[in-house]
Structure 1
Amino acid sequence: MTEPVPACSIVMLHGGSHAQLATLADPALAPYRIRPLHIRTAAPERLADAEVVVVADRLRPDLLRDWVPAILAALDRGATVLVFGENSVGDWLPGAREQKRPTIFWWWRTGEDHRLRTRSPGHPAWQFFSGRAVIWHYHGVLEPPPGAVSLVDLYTTAGALDGSILYLDEQTTSGRLLVTTMDPVYHHGSGFMPGATQLLYSALYWATTDRRKTC
C-alpha cells in the first residue's frame, strides 16, 4: 500500500470525546493532514472547501443536525463523505433507512455466527477493504437508497436478509458516500475491537484514492 497523498482537504467532524481525540492524534493518520472540526464550536461553513468529510461515530444528534445542510451540500458538489455508526442516518441522509439491532460483541470467542456476509465481490472498493476490516461489529441495519451498493449484509438467524451494515452510494448525489453502522473511530481511539483500525485506515485510503480525480 502506497502512502496517502495529502493534497486534498480532509476534515473530520467530531465531538471531542476521548476516542475521537485519540484517533485524530494517531501518528499513522498524520500524512492525511486531517482538519478537526468540533461539532459544537466550529461553523458548518468550514466544510465549504472539503473534498473528504469524515463524520465521526457517536455524535450528539442535536448538534449534528446543524451540520446536515453543509454535509449534503458537500455531497452535491462532488465531495466524498464517510458517515460512521450510531449517527441516526435514517433521520437525515437522503433515501437511507436505519433500524437498531443488538450487537454480537465477541462472536470470535463464543463461536456464535455473526451472520455478516460480504457482497458485491467485483466492486472496485474491495481493492481497499479486507474481510477483517468490515466484519467485526455493528449497531444496526441500513436499507440503502436505489442504486447504492451494499458491501456487507446482516442476515437473521432464519437466514433471511436483514439489511446492510456498510454501503456505498455514488448515485444519489454528485459525490461519493460511504455509510456504515460500525463505529471505527470509537473503537480505534479506545484501543479495542479487532478490525476497527483496519476499517478506519481502509476507509480513509479509499476516500483519498478517487478514481475520477487525483485527490
Structure 2
Amino acid sequence: MKKIAYVTTGTSAQLISYWDYAHYMDQLIYADDLPNFNLAEFDAVILSCHGHSDRILPHKKQLNEYVRNGGFLLIFALNNVDKLLDVVDIEWVDSKIKDWLWWTKPGGKIELYVPDNINHSFFDYVKPENLRWHWHGSFKGNHNGTTLLGIEDTDESVIVDFDNLEGGGRVFITTLDPHSHNGQRFMPAAMKLLQEFYPWIHNELGIDRNQINPFKVAYLQTTSFDSENKPSYLAKTFEGTGGQIEYYGVRPIPDEVWDCDIIYYPGLGDNIYMQRYSDRMMEYVKNGGQLILNIEVAICWLPFLKPFQTVPPTPYTNLKVRIENDPFEFFKNMPDDFDGWSGILGQYSRGFTQLPENAIGLTSIGAENAKNSADYIWQYPTLDGSGGKVFVHNGDNMVRYPDHGEHKECLVRDICVGLMKYRRAVVPFAGVQVKE
C-alpha cells in the first residue's frame, strides 16, 4: 500500500496534530532521524509547520533527491524554505498580513485570494474560506508552479503546487501553518483545513484507508460454560469482514494467541489467575495488539484498570446505557435499545469504572448528567501512536448484544472491525471536533 510520512522537529503542536491525523499516515519521522529512513518507501513526505530550519536544512540533499526520484514533498510554513529546495526555483519574501486581527472586526478582510481561473483537485476538497487566517511569508511570482492562493495587489503566492517535475516528483509548498494552530487548539479555519487536506492528499495518491486487511481474533475461553466459551452464532457475524475468530483456553494461554490481531476476553474469568499474564498482556498491547475486555474489575490485573463501581438501581432508568462518543464506529449499527437483553435494562451493564489517563469514554450509565463510562477505549502510549488499543466494557459478555434487529449479536464484530479500520488512529485526540 502507498504510504505517507510526517516529519517533526518535536514541537508540541506538530506532535498533537500528528496524533490527531495519525490514521491518515504511516510513519512519524523525527527530523534528526531522517538519514535512517529510505524516503523512497513513501509516496508522500510532509514537513510539518514551523519546523526548525536548522534541523531540516542539513537534510537538503536527501529531500531534494527524494523529489528527483519521483517523491511528493509537502512543506508547511518553513523558514528559509528557499534555501532548502533546489529541485524547484522559488524565492521567499518576508511578507506579512496588513492586519492579523481582521477577523475580529466588522467587515474585516484578509488580502488573500484564490485565482479565478484555477481548476485544481485541491479545491474539490478544500474550502477557500478555510485558507484564510494569516501567513508567514510568501513566494515571488517568478516560479513555474501553480499558484493556489495569492496575495491581492502583488505577484506573491502563499500556496504553490509544482506538479509533474522531471523524474515524476512533486512539491506542494505553503506558508500557512495549520498544524501549528490545530495543535494549539485555536484558529478554527486552520483546524478545518486539515480535515479537508488529508482526504485530498489521499485522493491524490489513490489511498483508501477504509480497506481492512484480513485479521484474526483470539477468543479466550474463561469459563466452564459452553455457551460462553464458544457462542454458536459469533463466528457467523464475521463473515464478509475479513476477520476470523478462533477459540483458545487460558490455562495456559497458548503462544498462538499472541500472534492474533485482537484478543477478546469475555468475562467470568479468574482475576487472580490473570495477574500472571499482566506483563505479557501489556507487552502485547505495547507492540500494537488490540484487546477487548468484558470485566467488572475486582483486581486491577492490568495497570491502567480501575475498580468497578455500581450505579444506584433506582430509578430504574439509571441502568440505561447511552452512546456518548463513537470515534471508531463501534456502535454505528446499534439501535437505541441495544443494551436491553430480552428488553431488560441492567443486563448489559450495571456500573462503570473511572477512566484511566487519556482514555475516551464511549458510553454512559447512571443519572443522565453523570457521564459514568460503562465502556471506554484506552491506548498504550507511544510517540508514534503505534501502541495497541484496549476496549473496556464494564459488564456482561457483549457477544449477545443486541439480541434483536438487523445487526443482531454484531456488537463484538463491529468493535473488532473498528479496531482494525482505525488501527493507526490515536486515542487521546481521536474525538477532536471543530465547532462551527
Q: TM-score, normalised by structure 1?
A: 0.84
Structure 1, 90-99 or 34-43: larger mean CA deviation:
34-43
Q: Structure 1 residue 116 and structure 2 residue 129: aligned?
A: no
Instruction: Return the letter of the residue paired with 1:115.
Output: E
Q: Which position in structure 1 is the counterpart of 2:4?
A: 10
Structure 1, 183-192 or 45-54: larger mean CA deviation:
45-54
**Partner Cα distance (1:14, 1:208) in 2:** 20
What does 1:85-104 correspond to in 2, within 5 Å? 85-93=77-85, 94-103=88-97, 104=99
Q: Which position in structure 1 is the counterpart of 2:410?
A: none
CA contact (8 A) 2:141 2:155 kept: no
123, 126, 130: which one aligns with 1:129? 126
148, 173, 180: which one aligns with 1:179? 173
- Report sequence identity in percent: 22
Q: Structure 1 residue 147 and structure 2 residue 144: aligned?
A: yes
What SS does the aligned partner of 1:161 have? Answer: coil
How many residue pairs are counted as aligned between the two chains? Answer: 201
Q: Residue deviations 1:53-96, cap 9 Å, x none?
A: 00011111221012222222221222222100133222122201
Runs of 4+ in structure 1 over 4 Å off: none
Q: Structure 1 residue 209 and structure 2 residue 206: aligned?
A: no
What SS does the aligned partner of 2:188 have? Answer: coil
What SS does the aligned partner of 1:200 have? Answer: helix
Q: Structure 1 residue 165 and structure 2 residue 158: aligned?
A: yes
> Any stretches of 5+ residues in structure 1 without a counterpart?
1-6
CA contact (8 A) 2:3 2:42 kept: yes
Q: Which position in structure 2 is the counterpart of 1:38?
A: 30
Query: Higher relative contact order by CA 8 Å / sep ≥ 6: 1 or 2?
Result: 1
> Which structure would you say has the larger Rg?
2
Q: Name the CA shift for 1:21/1:62 in 2 (closer, same or farther; >3 Å).
A: same
Instruction: Return the letter of the residue paired with 1:140.
Output: G
Instruction: Return the letter of the residue paired with 2:110.
Output: H
**Partner Cα distance (1:61, 1:139) in 2:** 14
190, 194, 199: which one aligns with 1:196? 190
What SS does the aligned partner of 2:32 have? Answer: coil
> Any stretches of 5+ residues in structure 2 without a counterpart?
208-436
